[in-house]
Amino acid sequence: MSFRIIFMGTPEFSVPTLRTLVDAGHQIVAVYTQPPRPGGRRGLDLQKSPVHQAAELLGLPVFTPVNFKEPEERERFRALNADVAVVVAYGLLLPEAILNGTRNGCYNGHASLLPRWRGAAPIQRAIMAGDKKSGMMVMKMDKGLDTGPVALTREVEIGPNMTAGELHDKLMHVGAKAIGEAMVKLEMGDLPLTPQPQQGVLYAAKIDKSETRIDFGKDARDVHNHIRGLSPFPGAWVEVEIGRKPERVKVLGSELADGHGPAGEVLSDELVIACASGAVRLTRLQKAGGKPLAAADFLRGTPLAHGTRLA
């Protein structure tokens, strides 16, 4: 047996799920993804999304509507005569006409343990909050924002120094496998749905540039979680004086360290930085336009003496 599936996704995170469904023998009748966006070094070239590129390599039909407001778009979706739609990080809220446009509705792979971290940035927010675990949930979508009943859950531990990028890579493969399992159960008529609890709801708002600057005036653990939660993208940053002028430097890795002093002060040759309480060691940094470097390599080109204050 196999389903007629409409797949809806956009970033690299979605690609393993698409490939899993193809490998399982399902018929992907269409792939929906965000339209090509300006990219390249000068931002002049239109770049297809990772899902768009993967779908073309697989020989699958691709559609890139801006939205589903037009009746023609809704009718095209319904006319595909699909058994189910699978949605992973598509990037659009789907109207009811789309949610009900297949025989079994739409199933979403969401990167959190719902109802905690509904919304756009669940991976980053979980780490920034110091969560000890995350996971992938397969839910049947309704008209709310990540409010639908849950069909399947797979938990993942968050290590003390795990970055958002590392958790992202782990979850995208866990999620692909979970969606594959969910489709087998759905085909067999054995995919029970459990309503989400009313307690514990948190929203994972999109990361804003205004919150990416590191504040060493916070507790060391909060600073550490902030750094790893924004690594590698968009990247937490500090200002460092380079060539007698302040420049932004991204901090892509850190760990908790011993030490105390005025917040933001360099305490050792190993880039231990004092926080309001405790200290963090910066382990991986990146200058604007440069490559990510281990702290020792960064310091060879940009020495930071004891007592230097980072802001």
Average pLDDT over residues 121-132: 98
Q: Note the pLDDT of residue 226.
A: 98
Query: Does the pLDDT value for residue 41 go beyond 70?
Result: no
Share of the chain above pLDDT 70, in %: 98
244: pLDDT confidence band, cut at 50, 70 and 90? confident
Which has more confidence, 300 or 39? 300
Q: What is the pLDDT of residues 162-179, one digit of tens each?
A: 999 999 999 999 999 999
Region 229-253: what's the mean pLDDT?
93
pLDDT at 45: 82
Three-state SS for 8?
strand
The answer for residues whose C-beta is within 8 angstroms of residue 286's C-beta and 6 or more apart is 235, 249, 250, 252, 292, 293
Beta-carbon contacts of 163 under 8 Å, excluding residues fewer than 6 positions away, are 127, 228, 229, 231, 232, 252, 253
Domains with residue ranges and CATH for the chain: 4-203 (3.40.50.170), 209-301 (3.10.25.10)
Average pLDDT of the chain to the nearest whole number: 96
The answer, yes or no, to whether residue 42 has pLDDT greater than 90, is no
114 is in an annotated binding site: yes
Task: Count CB atoms within 10 A of the CB of residue 84.
Answer: 21
Confidence of residue 245 (pLDDT cuts 50, 70, 90): confident
pLDDT band at 40 (very low <50, low <70, confident <90, very high): low
Q: Which residues pair with 265 in a beta bridge?
A: 309
Residue 306 clears pLDDT 70, i.e. is over it = yes
112 is in an annotated binding site: yes
Better-predicted residue by pLDDT, 303 or 251: 251
Number of neighbours of residue 165 by Cβ within 10 angstroms: 17
Q: Is 299 known as a binding-site position?
A: no
pLDDT digits (tens, 9 = 90+) for 188-226: 999 999 999 999 999 999 999 999 999 999 999 999 999
pLDDT over 90 percentage in the chain: 90
